[in-house]
Structure 1
Amino acid sequence: MTSAITSPQRDRGRWMVLFACIIAVLMVAIDSGILNMIIPAIQKDLNAPQATIGLMSSISTLMLAAFILGGGTLGDIYGRRRLILIGTGGIVAAAILSMLASSAGALIGIRAMDGVCQALVNPLALAIITVTFDKEERPKAIGIYGATLGIMGGLSSLLIQYFNQAFGWRSVFTLVIALGFLTIFLMLRFVSESKAAGSHKLDWQGILLCAIGLFTLIYGISQASGAGGFFSAGVLIPVLIGLIILGIFIWWEVRVESPALELSLFQKPAFSLGTLLILLFSFAQTGVFFHLSNYFQVLLKKSPVESALMLLPLTLALFVFNIISGTLVNRFQIRTLIVTGTAMFALAMFLFSRLISPDLTLWTLLIPMLLLGAGMAIANIPRMNALLSSAPPNLAGVASATNNAFMQLGNAMGIAVTVALVTTFGRNYYFDELTKAGLNEERIRKVNELLQKVLSSDLPSISAQFAIPQEQLKGLVGNYQAAFTVGVTQMMLMSAIALFLAAILSWFWLRHYQNTQKTSL
């Protein structure tokens, strides 16, 4: 494989390089999102509170987002393949420790370490693809990359839920371990070492400021699912501290010689818009997968495997349209593809917000799932290609790391923020309905305690134990189901509005860049 400082030459081995990078990123994708699919089982086994669940689910993607800039720079300096191998070894070790975790606190610590290791793999795989394929082949390679990750991710989610259902949640980490060993073999066998040209320094101060700022910010948001809501001191204080630290981080990056975040890249419209869009895309997509899976299992009482099967149309749509989108880049204007895809994504989120109910079936959500998969792929492939092409070759690792950092930040925010939103919307609806029924604060507290017993047991048992008619308990559960549904649908409606605004912004932002991808954006 060629270095980033020379024009990449086509050779027969480049497709095996692509395959090796796909497996590496698939390992990270599954590893970073694995807790989202099995969270009901973990919550029940480890007796974790809701605020802890939000942090546990987002901590690995948060640390990945925080340290991914350092991972990209380290790869550019010391070798991309070398850092992927080191990171993969750490991911395998973290997966083994996760299987042995005895408490929610221990699992949070392990997953935090795991996210740092993921940051050594995720940006460098895409950077290797960028320097391996020339400008003509890169859209095709990225399309294959996205499509393959989509379908393999969907099939792996079925496998994860089967292991979760059949052997318990700890067994699912064996998939990460297997992919880790496969990644090491493929990297050693097919991928040559590559580095960036020139001398680079590692901005440890910037990386640590970014990590601390993001962690404090996300931690504060995750606490909004508690009784105080978004405006409690437990939320506002850490969020404010996190924003101040992130402001100091930006101030530092402007002045340091070799910044972790290359702010000059954001002067290019394609790069700045691309990072904003991937932040929104990841936020919305993660919210859909996380909350629909949770909704299917908790409210509709679907098994983990049934839940994964109900989400399969979305995965298949992402696979098919990623392949199609890779060929559309050379045929249509980039602005047309990005705006159209983003608008389709927004429409899908709006339909989700209207159609989700306790009576839904697979067919109810089929159209919005297909729209989401199509919109995400149609907008994302040209977005990614334009963003990566706008960076000079010697900053391929930094550009890839920045793209992935915003994607993983969107994933982390998509869990922490949407969990807080769903909980807040649902809780407000639930308590408003009880207040309208004439219950005071003390009676509401007792009703809520009774509801928790009903949800953790069954109606006949609780009815006999407390001498309460089953019809009355069914009404209580029905109120809870309505509150859960309101929380999920309102969150998706907010995502739809944000995506519609992003589509409008993209139309005007790219109005001067209406040529093909051959035009520098």
Structure 2
Amino acid sequence: MILKKMTPVITTQERDPGRWMVLFACIIAVLMVAIDSGILTLIVPAIQKDLNAPQATIGLMSSISTLMLAAFILGGGTLGDIYGRRRLILIGTGGIVAAAILSMFAASAGALIGIRAMDGVFQALVNPLALAIIVITFDKEERPKAIGIYGATLGIMGGFSSLAIQYFNQAFGWRSVFTLVIALGLLTIFLMLRFVCESKASGNKKLDWQGILLCAAGLFALIYGISQASGAGGFFSAGVVIPGVIGLIILGIFIWWEAHVESPALELSLFQKPAFSLGALLILLFSFAQTGVFFHLSNYFQVLLKKSPVESALMLLPLTLSLFVFSIISGGLVNRFPIRSLIVTGTLIFSFSLFLFSLLISPELTIWTLVIPMLLLGGGMAIANIPRTNALLSSAPPTLAGVASATNNAFMQLGNAMGVAVTVALVTTFGRNYYLGELTKAGLDEEQIKKVNELLQKVLSSNVPSISAQFAIPQEQLKGLVGNYQAAFTTGVTQMMLVSAIALFLAAILSWFWLRSYQNNQKVVE
């Protein structure tokens, strides 16, 4: 009897049938954080009027939760790796719900700032760990699809949530919008308990408290300094330079500490991989550019075009829909085309869309004027960002999933915070230079320019006929003054868009050379 040689059967681990509900739970958790972190930006006018808060206080109130999220996000990823990712998401979600309830009953702007600061710390426990759970739940074959669905769903739900926030704000008052956060928080807790299993990193990883605090202090000082650049002194004022330099020094000490500590909060070894280091840089630039576009277009629509908050949100829907559609498409492209080609192509499209914005924005624009650049922006970002995210997270070992996700989200939140701080400063600087230049050309001296600015503030807060009658100034002169302001505002926004376009174009060139070792099908030549 002849025995035949048996060929061993290679089996693969059976996929968890409940993995898609895990994905849904993580999407709801991150959507809750996204809405919660950006909610005050949308309802600032109502809060300012109700609480009689000064502009400086409003600015800090709007950015404080994002600052705290960016500052402590590395700590959230590390805590999840050590003590359990689901456990930390539940704790963070409970804190966010509590902060939302307190925000509804805040009696003053100062109290709201303190609540929002605490809220940002709790957001840092949820944001990085949801994406880390997705990474360890899906294998390499399904991960791009899952990340594509994750990005697309967040994009479309985020767009419609802006409409919901503005509707609640207009119909029931600004305090009512926090019920959306509470509802999403309760849903997150239910889904996490019902569908998500606990996971943590193997080994005896320790918590790097010193590193976390150094990172938090450095990022806070840096972003706070940048946020002051919109003042009269510009980027080179003491209020910008001093905290900025202090922040950079602290971050330098943080990097030194992370290179020498046994269990660092930031794994510097991850940055030795091209996919990870470039991915972190790109998400910083993508978030910076996208946040700048959303923030300034919404502001432009409401301030210059006199659109209501709801109308402004509707005008931005083409961008949101484009992000949704192309995120779905991009998830299927990752396994079919070289990663480098997708990232470079998407970044170039993103850059070109910003260049079109810089050409087309004007006080006479309509929704149809910006449809093409909006579609290109959403498509370009999705085509580049889905493979970028997959490449970055796949380059990290499973034991560092929380740290890798936290690092990715830290750069994203840093980009979001800088996207508001830096672009506001750029728009203000470009617009101020144009406006002062026009007044100087007209022969006005410094004292006359000051009086013109005071009059302009009254014009913008009232209307031309009433100001004309009050000060006995011809309406044509006042209309010319407003026209100069509109041109200055437009110049500031368009030049900011052009600066962002150039930055992304350079990033595309850098990506082509930096990822030359990256091969098809997500393979890195080690």
Q: Under TM normalisation by the shorter chain, which class is it?
A: over 0.9
1:90 aligned partner: 95
1:437 aligned partner: 442
Question: d(CA) in 2 for partners of 1:108 and 1:486?
Answer: 33
Question: d(CA) in 2 for partners of 1:354 and 1:48?
Answer: 36
How much has 1:107 moved relative to structure 2?
2.9
Question: d(CA) in 2 for partners of 1:48 and 1:502?
Answer: 40
How much has 1:53 moved relative to structure 2?
4.4
Question: d(CA) in 2 for partners of 1:241 and 1:28?
Answer: 29
How much has 1:49 moved relative to structure 2?
5.1
1:255 aligned partner: 260
**Mapping of residues 115-514 of structure 1, within 5 Å:** 115-514=120-519
Could you tell me which runs of 5 or more consecutive residues in structure 2 were left unpaired when the two chains were aligned.
Answer: 1-11
Structure 1's consecutive aligned runs of 4 or more residues displaced over 6 angstroms after TM superposition are: none
The one-letter code matched in structure 1 to 2:478 is L
1:3 aligned partner: none
The one-letter code matched in structure 1 to 2:447 is E
Moved more, 338-347 or 425-434: 425-434
Question: d(CA) in 2 for partners of 1:428 and 1:478?
Answer: 15
What secondary structure does 2:415 align onto? helix
User: TM-score, normalising length from structure 1?
Assistant: 0.96
Question: d(CA) in 1 for partners of 2:13 and 2:463?
Answer: 63
Could you tell me which runs of 5 or more consecutive residues in structure 1 were left unpaired when the two chains were aligned.
Answer: 1-6
2:119 aligned partner: 114
Contact 1:54–1:416 under 8 Å retained in 2: no
How much has 1:8 moved relative to structure 2?
7.0
Question: d(CA) in 2 for partners of 1:104 and 1:139?
Answer: 43
How much has 1:487 moved relative to structure 2?
1.0
What secondary structure does 2:61 align onto? helix
User: Do the aligned partners of residues 254 and 166 (structure 1) sit closer, same or farther apart at CA in structure 2, a change above 3 Å counting?
Assistant: same
Question: d(CA) in 2 for partners of 1:221 and 1:103?
Answer: 26
User: Do the aligned partners of residues 374 and 213 (structure 1) sit closer, same or farther apart at CA in structure 2, a change above 3 Å counting?
Assistant: same
What secondary structure does 1:360 align onto? coil
1:4 aligned partner: none
User: Do the aligned partners of residues 9 and 420 (structure 1) sit closer, same or farther apart at CA in structure 2, a change above 3 Å counting?
Assistant: farther
How much has 1:192 moved relative to structure 2?
1.2
Question: d(CA) in 2 for partners of 1:237 and 1:198?
Answer: 41
What secondary structure does 2:139 align onto? coil
Contact 1:50–1:225 under 8 Å retained in 2: no
Contact 1:51–1:223 under 8 Å retained in 2: no
2:3 aligned partner: none
Contact 1:40–1:294 under 8 Å retained in 2: no
Question: d(CA) in 1 for partners of 2:457 and 2:104?
Answer: 28
User: Do the aligned partners of residues 97 and 464 (structure 1) sit closer, same or farther apart at CA in structure 2, a change above 3 Å counting?
Assistant: farther
How much has 1:428 moved relative to structure 2?
1.6
Question: d(CA) in 2 for partners of 1:138 and 1:30?
Answer: 25
Moved more, 131-140 or 275-284: 131-140
User: Do the aligned partners of residues 102 and 469 (structure 1) sit closer, same or farther apart at CA in structure 2, a change above 3 Å counting?
Assistant: farther
2:73 is the alignment partner of 1:68: yes
Question: d(CA) in 1 for partners of 2:410 and 2:423?
Answer: 19
User: Do the aligned partners of residues 158 and 424 (structure 1) sit closer, same or farther apart at CA in structure 2, a change above 3 Å counting?
Assistant: same
1:225-271, Cα deviation, whole Å (9 max, x unpaired): 11111111111111111111111111111111111111000000000
Question: d(CA) in 2 for partners of 1:271 and 1:302?
Answer: 41
How much has 1:298 moved relative to structure 2?
1.1
Contact 2:517–2:525 under 8 Å retained in 1: no
The root-mean-square deviation of aligned C-alpha atoms, in Å, is 1.5
Flag the structure with larger Rg. Answer: 2
Question: d(CA) in 2 for partners of 1:361 and 1:461?
Answer: 28
Contact 1:37–1:290 under 8 Å retained in 2: no
Question: d(CA) in 1 for partners of 2:188 and 2:504?
Answer: 35
The one-letter code matched in structure 1 to 2:397 is P
2:8 aligned partner: none
Contact 1:40–1:298 under 8 Å retained in 2: no
Question: d(CA) in 2 for partners of 1:326 and 1:108?
Answer: 39
Aligned identity (percent) is 88
Question: d(CA) in 1 for partners of 2:363 and 2:318?
Answer: 20
What secondary structure does 1:230 align onto? helix
How much has 1:320 moved relative to structure 2?
0.1
Contact 1:330–1:517 under 8 Å retained in 2: yes
How much has 1:46 moved relative to structure 2?
4.5
| Count of residues paired in the alignment | 515
1:422-443, Cα deviation, whole Å (9 max, x unpaired): 1111112112211221222222
Question: d(CA) in 1 for partners of 2:340 and 2:309?
Answer: 39
How much has 1:154 moved relative to structure 2?
0.9
User: TM-score, normalising length from structure 2?
Assistant: 0.95
